[in-house]
Structure formats: C-alpha cells, structure tokens
Amino acid sequence: MAPILDIRNLQTHFFTSRGVARAVDGVNLEVPRGEAMAVVGESGCGKTMLALSVLRLIPQPPGRIVDGKIIFDDTDLLSLSEKEMRSVRGNRISMIFQEPMTSLNPVFKIGDQIAEAIELHQKTTHQEAAEAAVEMLKLVGIPNPENRAQSYPHEMSGGMRQRVVIAMALACNPELVLADEPTTALDVTIQAQILELMLGLTRDKDASILLITHDLGIVAQSCSRVAVMYAGKIVEQAPVTDLFRAPLHPYTQGLMRSIPRLGDKAVKLTPITGIVPSLTDLPRGCHFHPRCPHAFDRCREEHPPLIMQNGQGVRCWLHE
C-alpha cells in the first residue's frame, strides 16, 4: 500500500545573518498508511521544522523550502496554491503542538473554537458544528461537555486544554495527524493518559500519525517505525522493534544508553558527550564526528550516505 506521506529529498533552509541554516537537509521519509511513525532527536535537530514544512508553515522569511517533494496521497503539497493548502491544513492533515495555548485562542470559548474548525472545512450549519464540538469534547473525556464548551481556555488545566486541542485536531477526521511533542508540556502524571487518548482516537478514526518526540519510551510504546534525526538529516530509519533490538548508528546507540531501563539497576546512564552543532556551522564530513566515540579519519572528511542493511537505513561509514 502506498504511504500516506512520502517526503523526498526535502530541504528547508533558514537564511540568517550568520549564514544558511539547513534545518531539514535532504530528508526522505515515508509514513505508512494507518500507522504511527516517530521522528526522534535532540532539540534543534530539525524535527519540528520537518513537521512545519509538511504543512507549509515555515516562517518565511527567513525560512524557505528550497527543494524536494512532499507527496500526500498522490499530491505534491509543494505544488498546491496557498488556497488549496488551506483546505488541507486542519482538515486532511492536522497538527497537535506541544503547548496547547499555541493552538487555542484565549478570548474565545473552546466549544466555539472547535465548531469553527468544523464549519471551516465541512458543509455544516453553525448548530450542527456546535453539536459536533460537544460530541468531540465528550470523546476526549471532558466531563460535562455541554457546559465545558462554554469555558475559556484559561479556565481549564493544562491536561484538559491538550484534550481540547486533540478534539480540535480530530474534529474533521484528518487522514494524517502531525503531533509535535504532544505531552512534553504536561504534568508527568497525565502524560501517559493524554498520549493513550491521542493514539487510541487516531487509530479509531483510521488516521496515520507522524509523532515528533525526544522520548524513546513513547516511541517504543506507540509507533511501528522510527526515524532518528541529527543536524537536519535522518541518520537511522527502521521498524521500532529492530531499532530497539539493535541500534546501528552511534548517535542512536547514545540515545538508548541515556534512557533509564526498569530492572537494570547496575547499568549506569551515559550521556552523549558534546552538544548539537550549530546548523549554520556544521562540522565537515559526518556531522556527528565530534561527538562520536568511533570516529576515524574518513568520518572527518566525507559525509556518509544512508546505507541500507537488512531493511534498516543508517548514515554511518561503519556500516558501508
């Protein structure tokens, strides 16, 4: 089956006074239809810019998509007019941001905001959209949804607001949901609940998910495939079970070693040394070489391509 989203050689650059920052640098990625795929990496690796590129929401200027294709259900989103793109955003593809207040307008009641999203994309009367909004609030577990629809965002807790955002994102039955760190801003005690809710509802609605996260625990629990991003590039891509069983790239191995595992009391957590390089001043050769414990001469000179090994893609000379 063709993937719901097929990103080909995507290049999103930011033209700054310090030089060109290649936030997304030649990314190839397929999101399987009806499945959840994760993109993981540290802050600043380009994963949010990848999601924003899909919706063509890159702040312009200084950003610009300079090359590539974003094929969504047989259509290259980069070939659409802005008007055509508006009928895709929030309708066929929706996005859940990390901070719920990014998506909610503080001066409108939440029921009206969800109803507006429905009215914008579907042929409904205001009354029908208002009723559908209450149904969505019920679906995401908001107690007393008829009354709660009259609340303003500031009258709700962070967890409830993120439930409202999920309701709004799913109100038009999108085929693809882009979720950018959807639980990071929430209290640890409710993160699992919200994640489960989002994944369960998207599954029920047959939507596919591209989940952007730095949390490998979430990926293990919820996704079928994963891509690891570093300095604007995908450095490893694999089915989740393969990646967790045998991570091939030294960066992925480093990420794995830095997460605690239940029961492994004797295993010391090891952070990855060094910091993520500036995107305007990337190291020559493999961009990971200043932090890599296995770097050798070739790594400092030549940038490795994505090398395929048993269905797992890895950008590292060790696997040539």
Which of 18, 294 has the CB closer to ligand SF4?
A: 294
Contact between 295 and ligand SF4 (CB under 6 A)? yes
Contact between 92 and ligand SF4 (CB under 6 A)? no
Contact between 120 and ligand SF4 (CB under 6 A)? no
Q: Considering the complex, what minimum distance in angstroms separates the CB of residue 229 from ligand SF4?
A: 14
Binding piece for ligand SF4, criterion CB under 6 A, among 141-149, 153-161, 209-217, 285-293: 285-293
Binding ligand SF4 (rule: CB under 6 A), the pick from 41, 153, 250, 313 is 250
In the sheet where 93-96 sits, what is the strand order? 93-96, 176-180, 208-213, 36-40, 225-230, 233-239, 312-314, 307-309
**In Å, what is the CA distance from 316 to each residue of 38, 197, 320?**
20, 37, 7
Binding piece for ligand SF4, criterion CB under 6 A, among 26-34, 85-93, 150-158, 292-300: 292-300
Contact between 18 and ligand SF4 (CB under 6 A)? no
Which of 40, 286 has the CB closer to ligand SF4?
A: 286
Contact between 299 and ligand SF4 (CB under 6 A)? yes
Distance between CA 33 and CA 51 in Å, rounded? 17
- C-alpha radius of gyration, the chain, whole number: 20
Q: Considering the complex, what minimum distance in angstroms separates the CB of residue 318 from ligand SF4?
A: 5
Contact between 228 and ligand SF4 (CB under 6 A)? no
Please tell me the number of Cα atoms within 13 Å of 31 on its side-chain side: 28
Positions 38 through 67 that interact with ligand SF4 (CB under 6 A): none
Contact between 254 and ligand SF4 (CB under 6 A)? no
Q: Distance from CA of residue 177 to its chain's centroid?
A: 9
Phi/psi-derived region of residue 280, left when phi > 0, alpha when psi is between -120 and 50, beta in every other case:
alpha
Question: Which burial class, exposed, middle or buried, applies to 299 when counting CB atoms under 10 A from its CB (0-12, 13-18, 19+)?
Answer: buried
What token pair was written down for 18?
Answer: 């310090």
- Tell me, by CB under 6 A, how many residues bind ligand SF4: 13
Contact between 304 and ligand SF4 (CB under 6 A)? yes
Contact between 288 and ligand SF4 (CB under 6 A)? yes
| Phi, psi torsion values for 21, nearest 5 degrees | -100, 115
Q: Considering the complex, what minimum distance in angstroms separates the CB of residue 303 from ligand SF4?
A: 8
Give the chain's length: 320
Contact between 282 and ligand SF4 (CB under 6 A)? no
* CA pseudo-torsion sign 120, 123, 128, 134: negative
**Positions in the binding site for ligand SF4 (CB under 6 A):** 249-250, 286, 288-289, 292, 294-295, 299, 304, 316-318
